[in-house]
Each structure stands twice: as C-alpha cells, then as structure tokens.
Amino acid sequence: MAFQRVLAARVAMRTESQRPESLPLLHRYLTELIVPELEAMGFSYRIIDNPEPGRSPFLLAERIEGDDVPTVLSYGHGDVVNGYDAQWREGLSPWTLTVEGDRWYGRGTADNKVQHSINLAALAQVRQARGGKLGFNMKILLEMGEEAGSHGLHEVCRQYRDFLKADVFISSDGPRLAADEPTVFLGARGGLNFDLRIQLREGAHHSGNWGGLLSNPGVRLAHAIASMVDERGRILVPALLPNCLPDNVRQALRTIEVGTDADAPAIAPNWGEPGLTPSERVFGWNSFEVITFKTGNPEAPVNAIPASAYAMCQIRYVVGSDNTNFIAHIRRHLDDHGFDDVAVSQNGTEAMATRLDPDSPWVHWCMASIDRTVGRPPRLLPNLGGSLPNDAFADILGLPTLWIPHSYPGCAQHAPNEHVLASVTRQALQIMAGVFWDLGEADTPSRRSTVPASP
C-alpha cells in the first residue's frame, strides 16, 4: 500500500538526533521526504536553522485558503532515539520497515514518524475529496530534535509567533490509553529532575574500625528521601502537591482504566496518594520517584563506610503545582527536618505541565468528530502521564491543544523492536481524515464565535 511505502522510506533514514554526525540526515529528512508531500498539497514552506547553533533544523509550512475559515497548527518530529541495532531481535532492523501480521517494526514507527505521516496522509485525502481544497487553513511545525530535548523549539515559537498564529493546535504523539481505545489528551504532566547529594568526608573508612562512630551518608540520604515520600509512594511535603484535583478533570477520568494491555506491568495496590483512583494518580496528581541511588561502590563493594551518597529524583506534576519553587520547597523541608548536610539542585531542563480545560468547546467538537468516525466517543485524558513540549503551543502561542495519539502502550517506544499496529494505523487514518474534514465544515468553535448574535 502507498502509505506503507512512504513510512518505509522515512524509517530507513537514520535520523538519530542525539548523534551530532546525523545533522545532514535531519536536513535530508525534511527536504527529501516531507517537502515533496507538502508541495503536492500546495503548501509553502521554509526550513530554518535552530536558534541554538549546531542543533537540528525546523520546518515551517502553511496553506492559507481564506480569512473566514479556521486555522490549525499541527506539529511533529522526524528525529528518533538511537537505533540500538544489535539489541533488536533476529530478523529485525530499526532501519527497515518489517511487517509481521498486525505489527510493523522499525525505529520511528511509534514515535513519531508514523504519527505525522498519518496526519499528512489524512490531509491529502481530505484535499482530494474536496476538489483540491482543505476547507481550512493549515500550518505545520516539524522539528528534528525532540528526542534530544527540543532545543530551540520554544524560541522558534517566540520568534515566529505571528506565522504560527492559529485557532487550535491538533497534533499526534504518545500512546493511546489502549490499542483498541481511540484517545484524546489535552496536555501533559510536567517533570522536574533533581539531585540530592551528601558529602560527609574525604574517602571511605573501614566499617569494622569505624562502624558506629561515623555517620553513614547512605543512611542519611535514605532517611532524607523517606522524609519526603513514604513507603507507599505518598508525597509527604504539602508544597510539592497540586492545589486540587478539579471536578471536571476527575469527571473525565471517572471511566479511565490504566494498565489494561496484556503486557502492562501489574499496578501496585495502595501506592501513591490515598483516596485517588489509579487514573487520578497518574493523570491528575503528582508523584515522587527515585530514579537512581548510589553510595559506595556497588560494582565492587568493600567493607567500608562510604564518604558520600547521591540520588537523582523526579517529580512528575500536573497543572496547579508550585513547580517554580519546588527546589526551594525541598531545601526548606530538608533544613526543617535536620538534613542540612544534603544538597539539592535541579538536574536538566524542566518539562512544564499543561492542560486544556476539559470543558473547552474544542474538546467537545473533537470528541464528537471522532465519535462520528468510529461510532463511539474516544477516551479523554486531561493530560498525558508523561511529558511533551506542549507548553510551547499552550503557553507561548496561547492555543487550545488537542493531541490524538496513534500508537499504543505496548509499542516498545524508545526500545528495541519498536512497532506500530496496522489496525491502529488504519483506524487513525480514518479518525484524522474525519477530524480534518470536520474542520472544513461550518460547525467549528472558531466559526461559532464569529457568527453575529441574533437580534
């Protein structure tokens, strides 16, 4: 099929953005594999350099059909994580689209090549069905460095704010709630990584000669962490929690079940905030995670009291959290609980939390469109459990953001044997064709807002 051939060509290009030597391929992906498809649909485009020197490029494209029709901004990324070629099972390669039954294997089949390819193919179908017109204005921002941290994306949105002006943002990334559950999500949880370090002395000392006399940094750090999160994962620092779980968010999550796929890990009972359902804990609340913990030499342990200990921790947080002061809150808590010897510092760039109001007219419009296509409403998540650079579109551009994902939880995203399901792809093409078709109809929120009130 034509779509399979297009995807195969895109998978074959090794657009590993974490590798500096891949920069020419990142440009070629845009010029050779994306631009021709856009030109065939009548888009004008420009490829711009990253505001950060040496980083990956961006593509900006638009097709303008009039001042009295809705304008949509869509986004995608053509880069992928490293292939890890040797780790794929026998018979598979990350750079070859391999079909085995319902599964299409290859790097980027889930994240994100198949997703923006589906959306472009659906656009082309709508344009053909409407006799060469879409019925709305379309703008596209495609980046080639999302897997390396989306460097420059926020600055591009600031610099090209006028070009990117739109009525609504509609894009695709991440997994559905389950393979057979069409899903819409409205934002993403934020994520802040931070380091905890304790350095008590220079060098280790024999645990027989000094045990019971010298404080142990591993013990100190373990108790410092335990003062912030209990043995069941409940956050104990009120300042690290959201101010509330809004009623309309709770209502949207009422029927959401997580971990229903056969290969999903077992959910720990009674883990996290008491009184919340599993869906509320992952989509509506904050979590505290210990990502790594090290003291002494785990690879070659000796009978000695170590001199230092280190942990990288993470807070996943939702809208309504005081995230700008998280580090200060942690510092104050540690001091108040006698852990002034534990240093705290942010690790890396923070991913910001975003969430469109579930009662937005655009949400109701999108849900109704998908319902008409598949015969039932999609699952609505107020935000993804993970993180996306959605704040670039929601906060900088001020757009209502709708994400319609085309992969599923078992897709092995970022791992060896990444794949997409052909059945999900087929349905996703239908869903996006329906959404784009409905954008060209009269009953969109942007058109409603411009209709004069009756006298």
Alpha-carbon distance of 349 to 360, in angstroms, equals: 30
> CA angle, 257 as apex, 253 and 262 as ends, to 5°?
160
3-class SS string, the chain: CHHHHHHHHHHHCCCECCCHHHHHHHHHHHHHHHHHHHHHCCCEEEEECCCCCCCCCEEEEEECCCCCCCEEEEEEECCECCCCHHHCCCCCCCCCCEEECCEEECCCCCCCHHHHHHHHHHHHHHHHHCCCCCCCEEEEEEECCHHHCCCCHHHHHHHCCCCCCCCEEEECCCECCECCECEEECEECEEEEEEEEEECCCCCEEHHHHCCCCCCHHHHHHHHHHCCECCCCCECCHHHCCCCCCHHHHHHCCCCCCCCCCCCCCCCCCCCCCCCCHHHHHHCCCEEEEEEEEECCCCCCCCEECCEEEEEEEEEECCCCCHHHHHHHHHHHHHHCCCCCCEEEECCCCECCEECCCCCHHHHHHHHHHHHHHCCCCEEECCECCCCCCHHHHHHCCCCEEECCCECCCCCCCCCCCEEEHHHHHHHHHHHHHHHHHHCCCCCHHHHHHCCCCC
What's the CATH number of domain 190-242+286-346, 3.30.70.360, 3.20.20.70, 3.40.190.10, 3.30.830.10? 3.30.70.360
Residue segments in the chain with a per-residue pLDDT below the cut of 50: 451-455
Domain segments of the chain as ranges: 2-188+353-450, 190-242+286-346
Alpha-carbon distance of 431 to 441, in angstroms, equals: 16
Predicted confidence at residue 359, as pLDDT, reads 97
Predicted confidence at residue 449, as pLDDT, reads 58
How do residues 199-230 score in pLDDT, each as one tens digit?
Answer: 999 999 999 999 999 999 999 999 999 999 99
How do residues 30-89 score in pLDDT, each as one tens digit?
Answer: 999 999 999 999 999 999 999 999 999 999 999 999 999 999 999 999 999 999 999 999
Alpha-carbon distance of 98 to 418, in angstroms, equals: 11
Predicted confidence at residue 446, as pLDDT, reads 83
- What are residue 346's phi and psi, to 5 degrees? -70, 145
Alpha-carbon distance of 45 to 43, in angstroms, equals: 6
Predicted confidence at residue 448, as pLDDT, reads 67
Q: Who's near 192: CB < 8 A, 6+ residues apart?
A: 314, 315, 317, 323, 326, 346, 350, 351
How do residues 80-114 score in pLDDT, each as one tens digit?
Answer: 999 999 999 999 999 999 999 999 999 999 999 99
Alpha-carbon distance of 44 to 222, in angstroms, equals: 57
Q: What architecture is the 2-188+353-450 domain classified under in CATH?
A: 3-Layer(aba) Sandwich (3.40)
Q: Who's near 193: CB < 8 A, 6+ residues apart?
A: 291, 312, 313, 314, 346, 347, 348
Residue 112: asked if its preceding bond is cis (omega within 30°), the reply is: yes
